Amino acid sequence: MKKLLSILSVACLTLFPSCNDWLDVTPQGQIEAEDLYTTTKGCNSVVGGIYYTMSGSALYGQTLSYGLMDVLAQYWDLSTIPDHNYYNATQYDYTDQNVIGTFNNVWSNMYQAITQCNAFIYYSEPYKENIANYDLLLGEVYGLRALAHMELFEIFGPVIHTTADLQKPAIAYRTNYNNVSQGFDTGEVVLQKAADDLNRALELLADDPIRDPEVGRQGDLNNSVLDYQDVLNYRGARMNYFCALGLMARLEMLRQDKTAAYKYATRVMEETEDIISLIDKENIMNNNASSVYNFSTEMLGAFYVNNLYDMTDTYFGMGGGYSSQDKGAINIDNNRYEALGTFIYNRTPDNGADIRYTYWFIGNTEHGNMDFMKVKQATERPGMTEPYAYYPEIPIMRLSEIYYIACETQIGVDNTLALQYLNDVRTTRDLTPLENVSDDETLLEYLVREARKDFIGDGRMFLMYKRLFYPIYTVAGRTVQPNDNIFVLPIPDDEYEFAGIEKTTQN
């Protein structure tokens, strides 16, 4: 009997510790987080998942680029189609279900991307030694987390009239992977945390291959299956060193520190030299075969949107399925094309030479409307020399924005220098340099006009109006006076309810 008992107890003691391991089942048909992160391939897929989420149509794939954000920036006149899904958005009616629904999606999708960033930081830590290019991946994740929060702050946060407004609660800056709701941070805290994340990203991305002029935006273009590293390829379509640096400039503008912003802007110009530069207009004008209509050579950072052309085809009624009845489509018919000319591109002193107007909108003989070439896939042509030229990318930040930042920070400081930055961009667009613009207000007006021409399809313009608290000039020639109610998009009701945050009117 004693023998039996001792056998049993020995068996129990030896088996018990291994029980816990045995109870840890690895699923076969689904991917368990703990398992996915153990390999380089898995970590790349997870980071790919963040890009996937952010490049979805709910975010940069549509809404935050050529979609609703551009509608709010009044690029399109929808007054002739009052039953269009976004008609109420042009009236800034934020009680409209389409607008609310779309922006609720922006909020929740952006936070899903953030949670995926936090999950990456949380889960990948133990395996970092085994993951190839872990610094690059982690740097990208920090950069993406900063970008996502900055975008949320810009859309849903209060208007920053003065630095005092930075003390208002804005959004929650989430840095932990858990299930605990968090209150809203003030704008100052949000931006400081974003700055911390970006600095962290800059450190981790110090050896970003994009900084090598031999590599640049396109990455290593390695197409070998065996040692293919996603993270080393197409650096321009990922969160990279230059993009993080550029975002620092944008961030300093948001917190109204123009000196710092200027410093970052000039740093970007210096460091990107020979790697990323403003476009070569000849490329567009003389060589249609390899024209980079989306000006991708100017992109500091971009998202790769595989289905961009399908979506834009539908959105702008460019594809075969064009229907004037479609409540979701904005067809660039002659009226709209004319309006773009009259109210955006050809305003005095400019007179139609702008290559953006000329080459971004090209008539399509099939349906008689304009194709929006900036977002439309160029037809395949033989002899395409720059393979990355036609990648369906949505920019996060363009080099031109850096010039505009540099310009804006110099207004009232050194208006000549400011004008020079503006003219730098204008020349590449085949416009004559502006002269004799010396007063701050006029300079700012020209700056805003120029940005407006550039940012169409990028979704940046509305946020620029918001930051400047600037009147919105519509393509019907009207002016919408700036107003907090226009610029602050509604945060989802669920956020207040389930995070237990008191809903206050933000003014």
Partner 1 sequence: MRKRKIILLLLIGWMVPFLAFAQADSKRVTLRLQNATVKVFFDALHEQTGMNFVYNNEQTKELPPITINVKDATVKDVLNQVLGRTSVGYSIDNNTVTLHQGENRRGGVKTVKGKVVDTNGDPLPGVNISIEGTSRGCTTNFNGEYTLSVPEQCRLVVSFIGMETQTVAYNGEPTMDITLAEDSRQIDEVVVTGYFTRKTEGFAGAVTTIKKEDLQKVHTGNIFTTLSALDAGFKITENNLAGSNPNALPDFTIRGRGSFQEGSSAPLFILDGFETTAQKVYDMDVNRIESITILKDASATILYGSRAANGVVVIETVKPKPGQLRVTYDFKPTVAIADLTDYDLMNASEKLEYERLAGLYDPVEGDLQTTYNRQQKYYNKYKNVLEGVDTDWLAQPVTNSFSQTHSLLVEGGAENVIYSIDGYFDKNKGVMKKSGRDRYGLGFTLQYRIKDKIIIRNYASYSNTHSYDSPYGSYSTYASANPYERPWDANGQLVPTLTDGSPNPLYEAALPNRSFSDTEYFADELSADWIIGNGWRVIGQFRIEKGNTSSDYYRSPFSSEFLTASDDPNDPEATIYTPVDLAERGELTLGDGEYLNYSGKLTVNYNKQVDKHMFFFGGGAEINQNESSSHSFTATGFADDRYSDPAFAIQFMEDSRPGSSESTVRSIGMLANFNYIYDDRYFLDLSGRYDGSSQFGADRRWAPFWSVGGGWNVHEEHFWSTNSVLDLFKIRASYGVTGNQEFSAYQAKTMYQYQTGRLYNQLIPATLMGYGNPDLKWQNQYSTNIGFDLGLWKNRLSLTFNYYWKRTEGMLTTITVAPSLGFPSNSFTANLGEISNRGWELNLGASILRDPANDLEWRVNVQASQNRNKLTKINNQLRGLNDQNNQEKEIPGAVYEEGESLSAIKAVPSLGIDPATGQEIYVKKDGTLTYEWDAADKVLCGDTEPDVYGNISTNLYWKGWNLNAIFQYSVGGDVYNSTLSSRVEGVNPATNADRRVLNDRWTTPGQHALYRNIRDYGQTYISTRFVQRDNYLDFTSLSLSYDFPKKWIQPYKISTLRLSFYANDLFHLSTVKQERGLDYPFARSFVFGLNFSI
Kindly tell me which residue out of 100, 132, 434, 499 binds partner 1, with binding defined by CB under 8 A.
499
Residues 6+ apart with CB under 8 A from 43: 36, 37, 120, 124, 127, 131, 134, 137
* Encoded amino acid at 201, one letter: A
> Of the two residues 478 and 498, which places its CB atom closer to partner 1 in the complex?
498
Q: Which residues share a beta bridge with 473?
A: 479
Cβ atoms of 80 and 143 closer than 8 Å = no
> Of the two residues 12 and 289, which places its CB atom closer to partner 1 in the complex?
12
CA 153 to chain centre: 13
* Encoded amino acid at 503, one letter: K
> Of the two residues 48 and 471, which places its CB atom closer to partner 1 in the complex?
48
Record the tokens describing residue 261, joined without a space.
């912003």
Enter the DSSP assignment of 395.
E
Give the 3-state secondary structure of residue 300.
strand
> Of the two residues 306 and 479, which places its CB atom closer to partner 1 in the complex?
306
User: Where does 125-180 have alpha helices with state H?
Assistant: 134-156
Distances (CA, A) of 37 to 30, 132, 259: 14, 12, 41
CA distance 261 to 389: 30
Contact status: 490 vs partner 1 (CB under 8 A): no
Mark residue 219 as left, alpha or beta (left: phi above 0; alpha: psi -120 to 50; beta: remaining).
Answer: left
Contact status: 24 vs partner 1 (CB under 8 A): yes
> Of the two residues 321 and 363, which places its CB atom closer to partner 1 in the complex?
321
Picking from 448, 439, 438, 490, the residue whose alpha carbon sits closest to that of residue 470 is 448
* Exposed/middle/buried for residue 116 (C-beta within 10 Å: 0-12, 13-18, 19+): buried
Contact status: 4 vs partner 1 (CB under 8 A): yes
* Window contacting partner 1 (CB under 8 A); options: 288-296, 352-360, 411-419, 489-497: 489-497
Cβ atoms of 315 and 329 closer than 8 Å = yes
**Total residues interacting with partner 1, rule: CB under 8 A:** 62
> Of the two residues 234 and 404, which places its CB atom closer to partner 1 in the complex?
234
Record the tokens describing residue 488, joined without a space.
């602050």
Q: Is the peptide bond before 158 cis (omega within 30 degrees of 0)?
A: no
Contact status: 207 vs partner 1 (CB under 8 A): no
> Of the two residues 236 and 319, which places its CB atom closer to partner 1 in the complex?
236
> Of the two residues 16 and 436, which places its CB atom closer to partner 1 in the complex?
16
CB 121 to partner 1: min, Å: 13
Contact status: 309 vs partner 1 (CB under 8 A): no
Kindly tell me which residue out of 13, 23, 164, 226 binds partner 1, with binding defined by CB under 8 A.
23
* Window contacting partner 1 (CB under 8 A); options: 45-53, 355-363, 403-411, 458-466: 45-53
CB 258 to partner 1: min, Å: 31
Kindly tell me which residue out of 63, 102, 116, 423 binds partner 1, with binding defined by CB under 8 A.
116
Contact status: 348 vs partner 1 (CB under 8 A): no
> Of the two residues 306 and 335, which places its CB atom closer to partner 1 in the complex?
306
Binders of partner 1 among 53-82, rule CB under 8 A?
A: 53, 55-56
CB 256 to partner 1: min, Å: 25
> Of the two residues 33 and 378, which places its CB atom closer to partner 1 in the complex?
33
* Window contacting partner 1 (CB under 8 A); options: 32-40, 81-89, 269-277, 404-412: 32-40
Strands (E), 151-231: 169-171, 185-186
Binders of partner 1 among 217-246, rule CB under 8 A?
A: 230, 233-234, 237
Distances (CA, A) of 297 to 58, 247, 277, 467: 26, 17, 7, 26
Kindly tell me which residue out of 239, 241, 495, 506 binds partner 1, with binding defined by CB under 8 A.
495
Cβ atoms of 243 and 394 closer than 8 Å = no
Binders of partner 1 among 442-481, rule CB under 8 A?
A: none
* Encoded amino acid at 227, one letter: D
CA distance 300 to 402: 9
Contact status: 19 vs partner 1 (CB under 8 A): yes
Contact status: 379 vs partner 1 (CB under 8 A): no
Contact status: 325 vs partner 1 (CB under 8 A): no
> Of the two residues 319 and 361, which places its CB atom closer to partner 1 in the complex?
319
CA distance 482 to 464: 12
Contact status: 506 vs partner 1 (CB under 8 A): no
How big is the CA angle at 19 (ends 16 and 21), to the nearest 5 degrees?
Answer: 135
CB 34 to partner 1: min, Å: 8
Burial 144-168 (b: 16+ CB within 10 A, else e): bbbbbbbbbbbbbbbbbeeeebbeb
CB 47 to partner 1: min, Å: 8
Binders of partner 1 among 142-181, rule CB under 8 A?
A: 171-172, 174, 179, 181
Chain residues that interact with partner 1, rule: CB under 8 A: 1, 4, 8, 12, 19-20, 22-25, 27-34, 36, 42, 44-46, 48-53, 55-56, 104, 107-108, 111-116, 118-119, 123, 171-172, 174, 179, 181-182, 230, 233-234, 237, 304, 306-307, 492, 494-495, 497-499
